[in-house]
Chain A
Amino acid sequence: MTSLSYEASDYPVPDRYLEAHQRYWTRLARAGCWFSGAERVAIAREVRLARSCSLCQRRKDALSAAQVEGDHEGGGALTDVVIETIHRITTDPGRLTRSWYDGLLSQGLTEEQYVEILGTLVATLSIDDFCIGIGVPEHPLPNPVGGDATQYRPPGATHSDAWVSMIQEKGATGAEADLYSGVPRAANVIKAMSLVPDEVRTLNDLGNVQYVPAAQAMNVKASYGGLSRAQIELIAGRVSALNSCFY
Chain B
Amino acid sequence: MALRETAEINAQTVDLAVIIDDARADTSGVQHARVLLDFAQEIVAGKSDALTRARLAVIGALSMDAMVTAAGVASNFQRMVRIADGTGIPVDAPMLVLTESIRDELGINTYTAAANTPELGTIKRLFFKLFGAVMFRRMLRRASREQP
Contact = CB atoms under 8 A, between A and B. Distances in A.
A81 to B, nearest CB: 15
A133 B70 contact: yes
A214 to B, nearest CB: 12
Prevailing SS type, chain A contact patch: helix
Interface string B107-148: 011011111111000000000000000000001100111011
A247 B91 contact: yes
Nearest to B108: A246
Interface string B82-115: 1111111111100100000000001011011111
Contacts, number: 285
A93 B82 contact: yes
B2 interface: yes
B75 A210 contact: yes
Interface in A99-136: 101, 115, 118, 121-123, 125-130, 132-135
A232 interface: yes
Interface in A220-247: 220-222, 224-247
A189 interface: yes
Contacts of B83: 118, 122, 189, 192-193, 203
Q: Among A14, A227, A245, which residue has the most Cβ atoms of chain B within 10 A?
A: A227
B30 A234 contact: yes
A14 B73 CA distance: 14
A224 B68 CA distance: 11
A50 B92 CA distance: 31
A67 interface: no
B52 A246 contact: no
A246 B78 contact: no
A62 interface: no
A244 B113 contact: yes
A97 interface: yes
Contacts of B43: 129, 132-133, 239
A167 B64 CA distance: 40
Q: Among A134, A207, A211, A230, which residue has the most Cβ atoms of chain B within 10 A?
A: A230
Contact of B85 (A210, A231, A233, A247): A247
B77 A240 contact: yes
Contact of B3 (A118, A219, A230): A230
B10 A11 contact: no
A182 B62 CA distance: 37
A48 to B, nearest CB: 11
A127 B71 CA distance: 10
A28 interface: no
B81 A239 contact: yes
Given A11-B68, A130-B71, A211-B72, A231 B86 contact: no
6 contacts: A12-B65, A93-B86, A166-B89, A189-B83, A189-B84, A234-B30
Q: List the 3 shortest-distance A-B pairs measured between CB atoms, nearest first.
A: A133-B71, A225-B69, A226-B66
